[in-house]
Chain A
Amino acid sequence: MKSNRRKFLKTSAVSAASFQIVPRHVIGGQGHTPPSETYGAALIGCGGRGPGTYERMVKDLPSKLVAACDVQKSRVDGYVKRKNPKAKTYNDFRKLLENPDVDLVAIATPPHWHALISIAAAEAGKDVLCEKPMTRFIAEGRAVVKAFERYKRIFQIGTFGRFGAFRSSTSRTIHKIMRSGLLNPNSGVHIKKGGLKLHNWSGKPGLKPQIPSEDLDWDLYCGPSPFKPYVPPRVGGTHRNYWDYEGGGMCDMGQHHFDPQQWIYGKDDTSPVSIEAFAPPSHPDVTGMWAWIELKYSDGFTFVMDSNEWGPGYDRKKSKQVSLSQLSEKDQEKIKAMPDPEPLLSFGEAVKQRKPAGGHPEAAHRAACILHLANLAIRLGRKLQYDPDKEQFIGDEEANRFLNVPMRSPWHI
């Protein structure tokens, strides 16, 4: 179904809780294409997942590629040639964001750029679908949340498992139990065993530096992260193996696994309070091995990651699903009387209705926090106590330095 202005306005009018700001393409105006039926779409980061992320963004939205950007010139040129030779190409996302024909931005760069580009896109009035993990460190996520609130733009994280979770009646019941607060203390335990790709996304230390190809803007690639001598695995999928850009298989796969679980267990607006890992000392540059991480929430509910790839398996607790039977009969009736949670909107529906998408910034940020907290327990080698409201470790100033990592000039959140 095509989107048109009349339909859009009609939808907007009945959406009491919807954002008040309509996308620029609907407004039209002097010097700009009149209200059209097509969204101008752009991709930033054209390698790897990029093209797939773009297609996911424009699914169900009438759109055309109007711009693309990559720090590697051959990649952006190749993508545009395949997709739409008339689209404009850029090496610097800042120039792309100046383009008034762009309404939607898919971000598929390595994660050290996710937050900064998402924020800048919101500031430029664009809606965003951003690849996972949402961020490289925790303070970035809070900054993204604030920017999208301030600019009333749509954000969806590039993982969609929570939409499937919503369709399950069992998951919806668990969600309602958790959100009701009737199960406190909560002895529920969700264990994710394997699937976090430790060996796949472990780094190779000690490689000899090389000169990057002229095709690659290495300085812009490093961006907010430390400027280090170039070695080939720092670029491409293996960027995941470096703390400077991502956080190993934990960050590559973790948001896929824990984003839906976070929704099911009603934790979209909070974070664990206690985090403990069984892991050997972590290397300064590259990601490596770990056995398990236990993350407890304030109500007692626990997430566990068991790598199943290194070291002993997790044996402190058994998996325990939250269910109605753990409640009194009276409380069970209360849960049954509760309405189902609001349906989760896809990115396309969210853009059309100007309502938050299912993978909205706060939820995506909290899911990313699970991964970052887990990785920090691995890296710091100590049990961490975390305040999910202040988003700070308690009584550990040095650990807090990892929550808001200074960026290279001129970048900042």
Chain B
Amino acid sequence: MDIQPYLDSFPLPANRGILSEINKEKTEKSVREAMQNPELVASELVKRLLDPGAEGNDIQARHLLHTMAVRIPNYDKKLKGDIRAKFSLVLARALSENYPDRVKAFIIRQLQICGGGEVVPAIGAFLIVNGIADDAAQALIAIRKNSAEQFRNALPKIKNNLSLYCNILHGLAELEDEGSKDFFIEALESKDEGCRLLGLWGLVQIADSSTLELFLKAEQKEKGYSRIKSTSYCFKFAEKLPKREALKVYRHLKDTRTSTREKYILEIVEIELAS
């Protein structure tokens, strides 16, 4: 399939390097035609993507592929078909091919826009790959459907890599994954303060009152900026709990935020306790 006419309708940098010469009629016509055969067009576009800095130019290919990713969910709804899923699966399959990491990252970002549950396993495979794991995590968080399982499955494989471990904890917390309660609790014992904070935040996100005592015991050990954040997690946890349990949190804060520099916290707590 010759997609060059579609690409040619998209602009290259003009004056000052910007895309000021873009023509709406021509580009829209190309997009409409490309959408008649989105799987084939997508597979051809992927082949034209380049590693940033490589010789050549993929500006038009990126522009068209992104436009298709943004618009295909709406086409899908109009046609009541499954072209969004088919298009996404073409992109997902490309992730297992031999493309540069930054090309794969770009493809994952397009799936973040249009992908559904069908592409989650393909993206999940990158949660254990340095350099693409954060792209994968953010795409999975955006897609949500079936994503938590990918994070949970990846976690045991990367426990010795702090950056990947935190990336996964972060994803599980964002997804408010109740099945990750034990992972969050385990993170509270980490020597890394960022990791501990993600554990605390994860517990806030799932707001399971059975973890409250453990949460309060762990949070009070934090110092400096981490203490500022753990205090905010206390407030957020309390806001999610029934009043009786929320009062436990406020009393805990009253007992533990006793230094002068935390007086502003105490004043908020007093208001909450009096309400």
Contact = CB atoms under 8 A, between A and B. Distances in A.
Interface string B185-203: 0000000001001100100
Contacts of A282: 66-67, 70
Contacts of B110: 284
Interface stretch (B24-32, B40-48, B153-161, B241-249): B24-32
B235 A150 contact: yes
A28 B194 CA distance: 31
Interface in B210-237: 224-225, 228-229, 231-232, 235
A410 B16 contact: no
Interface string B50-76: 001100011100111011001101100
B36 to A, nearest CB: 17
A137 to B, nearest CB: 12
B13 A98 contact: no
Contact of B134 (A21, A151, A204, A227): A227
A401 B142 contact: yes
B24 A98 contact: no
B228 A98 contact: yes
Interface in A265-306: 278-286, 288-289, 291
Contact of B267 (A21, A98, A229, A380): A21
B17 interface: yes
Which of A97, A124, A209, A227 counts the most B-chain CB atoms under 10 A from its CB? Answer: A124
B268 A409 contact: no
Question: Would you call the interface of chain B mostly helix, strand, loop, or mixed?
Answer: helix
Given A123-B231, A205-B13, A382-B74, A409 B197 contact: no
Interface in A12-45: 20-24, 27-32
Nearest to B232: A123
B23 A280 contact: yes
A36 B198 CA distance: 38
A97 B225 contact: yes
A229 B52 contact: yes
A95 B260 CA distance: 18
A380 B70 CA distance: 6
Contacts of B62: 205, 283-285
B224 A98 contact: yes
A209 B174 CA distance: 31
B251 interface: no
A5 interface: no
B142 A21 contact: no
A397 B138 CA distance: 16
A289 B173 CA distance: 37
B27 A209 contact: no
Contacts of B224: 95, 98
Contact of A209 (B53, B135, B139): B53
A289 B22 contact: yes
Contacts of B265: 125
Contact of A288 (B19, B23, B267): B19
A47 interface: no
A284 B66 contact: yes
B96 interface: no
A120 B232 CA distance: 9
B256 interface: no
Contact of B63 (A100, A152, A227, A283): A283
Which of B19, B170, B267 counts the most A-chain CB atoms under 10 A from its CB? Answer: B19
A229 B102 CA distance: 9
Interface string A214-230: 00000000000011010
Interface in A74-120: 94-95, 97-98, 100, 120
Given A380-B70, A397-B73, A401-B113, 12 more contacts: A22-B267, A29-B260, A30-B260, A98-B228, A120-B229, A229-B53, A229-B102, A281-B22, A281-B27, A398-B70, A405-B142, A408-B138
15 contacts: A31-B260, A120-B229, A150-B268, A204-B17, A226-B134, A226-B138, A284-B63, A284-B106, A288-B22, A401-B112, A406-B112, A406-B138, A406-B174, A407-B138, A408-B134
